[in-house]
Structure 1
């Protein structure tokens, strides 16, 4: 779209939303057919010229936030109001709210570590353009195959760096390799060592929290077969963070897969202090609880339904 097209779109949307002009009246004023006016208004929403926000009752979510903060000794919790929204709209609402939440945490000169996953992808997609001075984004984990590369840590790091006007590193390695020996060989390559060392010194880490048994991206990419999943169940595994698996108490499980990961370890991430966990959906409740019990995250972003169920039992 040309700059002139955008200016016209803004004029039309201001009259439509601020002054309640009908589409027929707009068509008459600008000499454009009503169907074209309708398409322009829809396009304005799609490209972000117009954002529609419904202000829900903040008191209930605020109380939930305080309850979770106290129960798990967290620095900060954001519960996104999502009542009566369908799954697609919940994903969008959480992404937008997470973007604003994280944006406020970032300062000039920060080194930000990012993991991978669907929620991080939606957060970065909704992130505002706001140049910061001397900001660097570092991937915390290797790649996840050739499918859906937009949710990979390298891509998320690159896209976030563009939004912030900063630089990004790239970790050119798989997230999980076949053997521990191969992992040691790859992890000693100079460029891999450099990025992993950068990842250990981040000021802020953004991580997803996965459920290995339900809607698991790692299973979809072939990292988790039925044998591995069965072994993980026997160890009471309920979650993965940065592709490390933890049990119900938040402890890292003694499974070989955890020793084949190329990425920053949970113990190292914890030293960063500011680790934000982003996860939502009822299938993530036990996973989130495990991450909180283990002290792996200090801040949490989730949706209202998940937060409520978390605190019910």
Structure 2
């Protein structure tokens, strides 16, 4: 197919998709209008899906998860819970949870707002699920340093730039590595004027987007080479159930874990999050229920975004582990 033929096809697919999804016309009426068979119109609508011309988003009614959201809010004293329906495909589950976070930001962002941004797949997915034409003129600031091993897609700098492009704003990089082997070097770096300026701005944020991790030898932290499988296993045996922001390790009661992995990351910490008005914790994977519970018990979370199954498990774990 030549480029001209391809352009003509895309125009036709866009026209048919607009008539069907935007104007609400039936396949039969479209077929008559364009002198095509109804079967042909149906096939072209499917092709428009396959080519990404059509992006259908199904929103479940709030009543489906309202009861469990209210229970999470009451039990953990958070402001809101964004609960996505369960999906067997982990990538689709991540996208569904991220879409709810993107919608939340769309409703609440305003001109001049600052958003502190963490790293990881769940945070990155928010930037891929923004659907708005409004220009918010807000700032997305890296809340943790970068890592070559994380890859561009999962690095906070890349995520900030993507979010700024989607919402209409600017981004600010944190010019520092995420991981340092020497705690003393980390302490010196935190006093560097350039690093300190960015982190201080992140501390003044109106919103924070953070991930919640689990203690798995197959976690992103291990794959990136930040921590060894042995370090993760030892931390888990000592009671660590997860992390916030990729490094603030916590037990199931929300207490800081004393591990060898402490004081090696350049970024905001839990104490900083307590001062941010809306800290949005995002966790879609089924393995993260214990980590989510620990994060909620820190008192630093304002908005939880997760799946329905995770929410149910968190409530059950809370009942089973109350002191």
1:232 maps to 235
RMSD: 2.9
Q: How does 1:158-173 map to 2 (within 5 A)?
A: 158-173=161-176
Runs of 5+ in structure 1 lacking a partner? none
Q: 1:147 to 1:200 in 2, by over 3 A?
A: closer
Question: 2:212·2:295 contact (CA, 8 Å) conserved in 1?
Answer: yes
One of 263, 279, 282 as aligned partner of 2:283: 279
SS of the aligned residue for 1:258 comes to coil
CA distance in 2, matches of 1:16, 1:121: 32
Q: How does 1:44-59 map to 2 (within 5 A)?
A: 44=49, 47=52, 49-53=54-58, 55-56=59-60, 58-59=62-63
Deviations 1:129-187 (Å, cap 9, x if unpaired)? 44445411101011132343211111111111111221111112221111112212332
1:77 maps to 81
| Count of aligned residue pairs for this structure pair | 309
1:42 aligns with 2:47: yes
How far did 1:230 drift?
Answer: 3.2
Deviations 1:12-42 (Å, cap 9, x if unpaired)? 11444533316994896269x949x846643
CA distance in 1, matches of 2:143, 2:272: 11
1:300 aligns with 2:300: no
SS of the aligned residue for 2:83 comes to strand
How far did 1:215 drift?
Answer: 4.5
CA distance in 2, matches of 1:133, 1:20: 36
Higher deviation after alignment, 37-46 or 280-289: 37-46
1:289 maps to 293
1:29 aligns with 2:32: no
CA distance in 2, matches of 1:98, 1:133: 16
Higher deviation after alignment, 43-52 or 162-171: 43-52
How far did 1:257 drift?
Answer: 2.2
CA distance in 2, matches of 1:50, 1:23: 22
Runs of 5+ in structure 2 lacking a partner? 318-323
CA distance in 1, matches of 2:123, 2:215: 17
| TM-score (ref. length: structure 1) | 0.87
Deviations 1:79-100 (Å, cap 9, x if unpaired)? 1123x65333322222222211
How far did 1:284 drift?
Answer: 0.6
CA distance in 1, matches of 2:95, 2:105: 15
CA distance in 2, matches of 1:45, 1:102: 28
CA distance in 2, matches of 1:76, 1:149: 31
CA distance in 2, matches of 1:34, 1:27: 13
Higher deviation after alignment, 219-228 or 37-46: 37-46
Question: 1:124·1:160 contact (CA, 8 Å) conserved in 2?
Answer: yes
Question: 2:180·2:265 contact (CA, 8 Å) conserved in 1?
Answer: yes
SS of the aligned residue for 2:162 comes to helix
Question: 1:211·1:238 contact (CA, 8 Å) conserved in 2?
Answer: yes
2:203 maps to 200
Deviations 1:217-244 (Å, cap 9, x if unpaired)? 1111011213312331243111111121
